[in-house]
A = this chain, B = another copy of it.
Amino acid sequence: MSERYLATLETPALLLDDTRMQNNIDRMRSRMKELGVSFRPHVKTNKSIDVSRRLMDTSEGPITVSTLREADYFAGYGVKDILYAVCIAPNKLAHVTRLLQKGVQLSLILDSMQAAQRLVEFARGIDRPLDVLIEIDSDGHRSGLAPDAPELTEIACFLDASGINVKGVLTHAGGSYDCRSVEAIRAIAEQERLAAVTAATRLRAAGLACPVVSVGSTPTALYAEHLEGVTEVRAGVFVFFDLVMAGLNVCRVEDIAISVLGTVIGHQTAKGWTIIDAGWMAMSRDRGTDGQAVDQGYGVVCDIEGRPLEGFILKGANQEHGIIAHRSDDPSISPNLAVGDQVRILPNHACSTAAQYEEYNVLNDSNEVVAVWPRFNGW
């Protein structure tokens, strides 16, 4: 496509700064090299082959997905090595079969004997071995067995004895998103590593090879001091970063690669409000910074070139209306924007904001749209 100016875009629209994204990717790659682990990027944040090609080691992967639709989509582009990192639900097994029949090397995860039994029943009806990892709980935030749970070896041995290929263990320290300091992230990274390695050690003592020890979250991947015993890292949000990550000091605000382009549609001058056509449908309802030191509302307001308008945030949002106001609520401080002026809003959470869109408008360093990359949503 020929280059297009932002001013010609109908709003709201999702923008992607190519240079920022590439810098974020380079940073993660060099961390992986330093840590001596392989990288299995999580594509749930971007859901785009164009973005994911920048992340993958090879055109066949490996990648991590959060839905089987992601697996379908990436398999359609030739990606083969796919880890579906949500405990498998029995009603998805027919879908799993279709993916295996297409030649995808799909790994599943589970954390219970109930799920293991359902999987073994299912495996009897198919003609190839299933690859499974057992999910370990490293921080109490959602799924997984405790590293010292007796069920861990029971389940692994049951699967192994039933002809399932127990590839290893996996954990995700999602609790790192709630940290308040880099020191806290380092501590949770060590907790994540130790949980996975402890679980793997127990499986090996029980006679299983357990070749894969998989950990990951963007904060822990970037701040782990070492990852001894870990074989692979998963992370996804780093590719774009967001205000939640900036609030954790995992990135700077100026590293955030996606933003929402909106247009001023009116004012409530007495209140100091500037109203734009990007509301919660454009930003998502994610208020991830509300528990952080600095609450960014529905996002940080920038000018059309992406420079923050100091102190201005999207204070409120209706479905298709966003309300720009000064952080202080002082109505006399105005961003001086007229009807028709465009602004860019940096999002709280890259995964949820990007999921409101079907495409990325990719910007070069002159803020021209040089490509439009499709993305998808749903299941």
Contacts and interface: CB of A to CB of B under 8 A. Distances in A.
B340 A91 contact: yes
A25 interface: no
A292 interface: no
Nearest to A265: B87
Given A263-B89, A268-B137, A321-B142, A355 B281 contact: yes
A66 B266 contact: no
A112 B10 contact: no
A44 interface: yes
Interface of A: 7-13, 44, 66-68, 86-92, 94-95, 110-112, 114-115, 118, 135, 137, 140-143, 174, 263-268, 271, 275, 277, 280-282, 284-287, 316, 318-321, 323, 338-340, 342, 349, 351-352, 355-358, 377-379
Contacts of A266: 87, 110-112, 115, 135, 143
A-B CB proximity, top 6 nearest: A285-B285, A114-B339, A89-B263, A87-B265, A90-B340, A285-B286
A282 B12 CA distance: 22
B318 A285 contact: no
A112 B351 contact: no
A10 B68 CA distance: 10
Given A12-B379, A285-B285, A357-B378, A91 B143 contact: no
Contacts of A114: 338-340
15 contacts: A10-B94, A11-B379, A66-B320, A86-B277, A89-B277, A90-B339, A91-B342, A112-B266, A114-B339, A115-B266, A142-B268, A142-B316, A285-B352, A356-B378, A357-B378
Contacts of A143: 265-266, 268, 275, 321
Given A89-B277, A263-B90, A266-B112, A356 B340 contact: no
A316 B142 CA distance: 9
Given A10-B94, A86-B277, A140-B271, 20 more contacts: A11-B91, A44-B320, A67-B320, A86-B320, A87-B265, A87-B277, A89-B263, A89-B277, A89-B340, A111-B266, A118-B339, A142-B316, A142-B323, A284-B284, A284-B285, A285-B287, A355-B356, A356-B377, A358-B378, A377-B377
A132 to B, nearest CB: 14
Contact of A142 (B287, B318, B339): B318
A146 to B, nearest CB: 9
Contacts of A9: 91
Contacts of A90: 263, 339-340
Nearest to A357: B378
B378 A10 contact: no
A263 B115 contact: no
Nearest to A270: B146
Contact of A319 (B66, B111, B118, B140): B66
Contacts of A320: 44, 66-67, 86
Most buried by B among A271, A351, A356: A356
A91 B10 contact: yes
Contacts of A12: 379
A112 B263 contact: no
A251 B98 CA distance: 43
